[in-house]
């Protein structure tokens, strides 16, 4: 029943706000688990964890399983309906309520989220392939500002979607996507670590990991 409500809420918002939602459904458990891998590190101290774009909480549900005493999770969601859904879930859903004291769901555009070197790791669900190069760059710079140097940012994209759209796209749309592709490929080349392909997901996806650079 909870899964049905989650799916129907996600689908409604995906239809209403496809550019920011950018997915046909919530992430599956294998993708969610891959995105949470950094939290399973042995012998880590209490961490401040950032989740950008939690949606209905498909990844959040997995993240909370890996919270240790003293950890906090801040989930920043731009869509008020989705942010409220997630806030309600932490209040009413018996599988999430026990973690509520460690979790803050913030309704905000990540771009306006203040702070510097605040988080020890970040998990990001933002659909960069739906965004312009300018917006993607600003969001990546925001994530880099919020995360500590040396920390890991994990994010995902659907497998080969960008490449397929580049191959079949035309005109200005193709040029825009080409610039985005060059930027993301270069980030991966500079900062990327061990991407992981997740076949068991609707749609198959790749979990990408970027190690945040030291600051000058």
Ligand X SMILES: C[S@@+](CC[C@H](N)C(=O)[O-])C[C@H]1O[C@@H](n2cnc3c(N)ncnc32)[C@H](O)[C@@H]1O
Residue number with CB closer to ligand X (21 or 89): 21
Min dist CB 115 to ligand X, Å, is: 14
Query: Considering the rule CB under 6 A, would residue 154 count as an interface residue with ligand X?
Result: no
* Pairwise CA distance, residues 107 & 173, whole Å: 30
Give the relative orientation of helices 171-191 and 161-168 as an angle to the nearest 10 degrees. 150
Residue number with CB closer to ligand X (36 or 212): 36
Query: Considering the rule CB under 6 A, would residue 111 count as an interface residue with ligand X?
Result: yes
> For the residues of 73-130, what is the DSSP string, one character each?
EEEEES-HHHHHHHHHHHHH-TTTGGGGGGEEEEES-GGG---SS-EEEEEE---GGG
| Site for ligand X, residues 12 to 31, rule: CB under 6 A | 20-23, 26-27
Query: Considering the rule CB under 6 A, would residue 122 count as an interface residue with ligand X?
Result: no
Residue number with CB closer to ligand X (15 or 170): 15
Residue number with CB closer to ligand X (126 or 177): 126
Query: Considering the rule CB under 6 A, would residue 75 count as an interface residue with ligand X?
Result: no
Q: How far is CA 85 from CA 77, 82, 155, in A?
A: 11, 5, 22
Residue number with CB closer to ligand X (126 or 180): 126
Q: Which long-range contacts (CB under 8 A, 24 or more apart) does 67-72 make?
A: 67/39, 67/99, 67/102, 68/44, 70/45, 70/46, 71/46, 71/47, 71/102, 72/46, 72/47, 72/48, 72/102, 72/103, 72/104
Min dist CB 105 to ligand X, Å, is: 11
Min dist CB 209 to ligand X, Å, is: 16
Task: List phi, psi (to 5°) of 153.
Answer: -105, 125
Query: Considering the rule CB under 6 A, would residue 126 count as an interface residue with ligand X?
Result: yes
Stretch of residues binding ligand X (CB under 6 A), selected from 38-46, 50-58, 166-174, 182-190: 50-58
Stretch of residues binding ligand X (CB under 6 A), selected from 106-114, 166-174, 190-198, 206-214: 106-114
Q: Measured at CB, which residue is nearest to ligand X?
A: 53
* Torsion-angle region of 134 (φ positive above 0: left; ψ -120 to 50: alpha; else: beta): alpha
Residue number with CB closer to ligand X (105 or 177): 105
Binding site for ligand X (CB under 6 A): 20-23, 26-27, 52-55, 58-59, 76-79, 82, 109-111, 125-127
């Amino acid at each position: 029943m909870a899964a049905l409500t989650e799916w129907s809420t996600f689908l409604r918002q995906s239809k209403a706000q496809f550019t920011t939602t950018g997915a046909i459904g919530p992430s599956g458990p294998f993708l969610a688990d891959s995105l949470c891998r950094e939290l399973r590190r042995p012998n880590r101290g209490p961490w401040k964890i950032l989740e950008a774009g939690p949606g209905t909480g498909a990844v959040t549900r997995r993240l909370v399983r890996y919270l240790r005493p003293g950890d906090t999770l801040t989930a920043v969601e731009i869509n008020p309906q989705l942010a409220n859904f997630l806030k309600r879930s932490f209040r009413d859903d018996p599988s999430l309520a026990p973690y509520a004291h460690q979790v803050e769901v913030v309704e905000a555009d990540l771009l306006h989220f203040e702070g510097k070197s605040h988080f020890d790791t970040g998990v990001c669900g933002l659909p960069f392939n739906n965004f312009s190069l300018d917006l993607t760059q600003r969001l990546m710079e925001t994530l880099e500002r919020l995360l500590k140097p040396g920390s890991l940012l994990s994010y995902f994209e659907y497998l080969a979607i960008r490449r397929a759209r580049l191959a079949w796209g035309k005109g200005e749309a193709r040029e825009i996507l080409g610039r985005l592709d060059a930027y993301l490929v270069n980030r991966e080349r500079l900062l990327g670590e061990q991407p992981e392909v997740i076949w068991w997901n609707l749609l198959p996806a790749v979990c990408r990991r970027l190690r945040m650079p030291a600051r000058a």
